[in-house]
Each structure stands twice: as structure tokens, then as C-alpha cells.
């Protein structure tokens, strides 16, 4: 029992390393695209790694497993509604771009600054 659990953990760690390697270029491109504070860069990296964990956990999911997910819908919501002292507009855009690139969202922000689309919340 313990051996199979250890093997499962090792497989998961290998898969996370593979996902990180597969998506690093995309993540770094988003980092370069936006002018982020040091804290926002750290937050984006944490979000990236958290998203990779989510992807790894759901790769072999059954339809039953997906019932626990929540899909958040943005319907022409002004981006500036979400901007606060902790997260700049650039940080929000970077997080949305990252979620889009990882396949966890289909978000667009129009010229007026309105957010449209859907994103998996977990």
C-alpha cells in the first residue's frame, strides 16, 4: 500500500515537472509582456504552479470529478472593478493571459476594458 502511494506521488511529481517544462516559455513570455511589481511577479508564478497542479489533478478526471468545478462567467464586467491596491491592471491581464494560455479560461478584454468569457475557478 505504501509503495503504491509513493509511486503515485513520484508519478505526480514527474508530471508536474513535465508540465512546468512544457509551459515555462509561455509563462516567461507573459512575464515579459507586462510590467509587474516584484510581488505581482511572485503571485503570477504561484498562480502558474497552482494551475499546473490543477491540470495534473484533472488530466485523468471522470465527468463525475468535474462536478466540483465552478465556471465563473464575465459578462462585460469592467476590468477596473477588480483593480485594487494589491493587484494592478497589468497583473490582472497577466493572470487572465496565463489562464487562457493554459486552457483554463477563454477570457477577452475589449478596448473599453470590459472582461468577457469564462474561467475555471477551483
Q: What is the pLDDT of residue 56?
A: 92
CB 56 within 8 A of CB 15: yes
Q: How confident is the model at residue 2 (pLDDT cuts 50, 70, 90)?
A: confident
| Residues 6-47 pLDDT 10s | 998 899 999 999 999 999 999 999 999 999 999 999 999 999
Q: How many domains are contained in the chain?
A: 1
Say what the alpha-carbon torsion angle 59, 117, 83, 37 is, to the nearest 10 degrees: 50
What's the domain range around 6?
2-121
* Separation of first and last alpha carbons in the chain: 29
pLDDT in tens, 79-110: 988 887 678 999 999 999 999 999 999 999 99
b/e 32-43 (16+ beta carbons within 10 angstroms → b): eebebeeebeeb
Amino acid at each position: 500500500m505504501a509503495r503504491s502511494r509513493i509511486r503515485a506521488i513520484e508519478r505526480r511529481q514527474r508530471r508536474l515537472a513535465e508540465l512546468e517544462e512544457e509551459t515555462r516559455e509561455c509563462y516567461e513570455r507573459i512575464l515579459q509582456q507586462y510590467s509587474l511589481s516584484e510581488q505581482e511577479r511572485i503571485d503570477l508564478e504561484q498562480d502558474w504552479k497552482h494551475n499546473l497542479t490543477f491540470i495534473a489533478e484533472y488530466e485523468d478526471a471522470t465527468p463525475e470529478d468535474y462536478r466540483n468545478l465552478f465556471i465563473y462567467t464575465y459578462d462585460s464586467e469592467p476590468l477596473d472593478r477588480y483593480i485594487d491596491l494589491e493587484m494592478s491592471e497589468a497583473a490582472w491581464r497577466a493572470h487572465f493571459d496565463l489562464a487562457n494560455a493554459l486552457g483554463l479560461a477563454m477570457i477577452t478584454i475589449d478596448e473599453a476594458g470590459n472582461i468577457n468569457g469564462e474561467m475555471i475557478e477551483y
